[in-house]
A and B are shown apart, each in its own frame.
Chain A
Amino acid sequence: MKKRHVLAIAVVLALLAGACGNDDGTATEPIKIGIIADLTGAFTTYGTSLSRSAQLAVDEVNAAGGIDGRQVEVIVEDIQSDVTVTVDKARKLVESDHVDLVMGPIGSDANDAAFQTVVQEGGTLLFYTETYEGGKCDERYFSFGAVPAQQIRPLIPVLQEQYGPKAMLFGADYVWPHRSFEIAKPIIEENGGTVVAELYLPLVAEDFTELVRQVRDTQPDYIFALYPAVWGAALKALDDAGLLDDIGIGTIFLGDPDFAGIADLAEGDYTALPFFTVAAGDGVQPFLDAFAAKYGEGEIPSGGEGVGAYDAVYLYKQAVEKAGTTDPAAVAEALVGLSYDGPTGPVTMTPSHHLRQTINLVQAQGGEYMLVDSFPDQDPEEACNP
Chain B
Amino acid sequence: MQPVGDLTEGRPPEPAAAPGRRTRRTAEIAFLVLLVALPLLSNDTFLIDRFGRYFLFAVFAISVDLIWGYGGMFTFGHAAFFGGGGYLVAMLTTRTGSFLPVPFWIALPLAVAAAAVLALAMSYFVFSGREALRGVEFAVVTLAVAVLAERLTNAGGAVTGGQNGILMQTRLGIPGVISLHRGYGFYALTGILLVAAYLGVQRFIRSRPGLVLRGIRDNEDRIDLLGYDVAQVKRRAFVLSGALAALAGALFHVHEGIVSPGAVGVSSSTLVLLWVVLGGRGTLLGPVVGALLLPHLTASLSGTLLDTWLVVVGVILVAVITLLPAGLLGFLGKEPEP
A residues touching B (Cβ–Cβ < 8 Å)? Answer: 1, 4-5, 7-8, 11-12, 15-16, 18-20, 22, 39-40, 75-78, 80, 82-85, 87-89, 91-92, 95-96, 108-109, 112-113, 116-117, 121, 172-175, 202-203
Contacts and interface: CB of A to CB of B under 8 A. Distances in A.
B92 to A, nearest CB: 19
A117 to B, nearest CB: 7
A89 B47 CA distance: 11
A173 B302 contact: no
A22 B300 CA distance: 8
The B contact surface, by secondary structure, is: helix
B281 to A, nearest CB: 14
B148 interface: no
A203 B329 contact: no
The A contact surface, by secondary structure, is: helix
Contacts of A83: 165, 256, 258, 260, 262-263
Interface residues of B, number: 43
A172 B164 CA distance: 12
Contact of A88 (B163, B299, B331): B299
8 contacts: A4-B324, A15-B296, A19-B301, A40-B302, A84-B262, A91-B49, A96-B44, A174-B163
B303 A76 contact: yes
A101 B214 CA distance: 53
A39 B301 CA distance: 13
A108 B162 CA distance: 11
Contact of A112 (B167, B304, B309): B167
A2 B262 CA distance: 41
A88 B53 contact: yes
A202 B154 contact: yes
Contact of B306 (A7, A18, A20, A78): A78
Contacts of A174: 162-164
Contact of B258 (A11, A12, A109, A172): A109
Nearest to B50: A88
A12 B262 contact: no
B300 A19 contact: yes
B289 interface: yes
A112 to B, nearest CB: 6
Contacts of A172: 163
Interface in B276-305: 289, 293, 296-297, 299-304
Given A87-B256, A95-B46, A82 B262 contact: yes
Given A4-B331, A96-B47, A175-B163, A113 B324 contact: no
A109 B154 CA distance: 12
A177 to B, nearest CB: 10
A173 B155 contact: yes
B178 interface: no
A23 B277 CA distance: 31
Contacts of A75: 303
B120 interface: no
Contacts of B260: 83, 109, 113
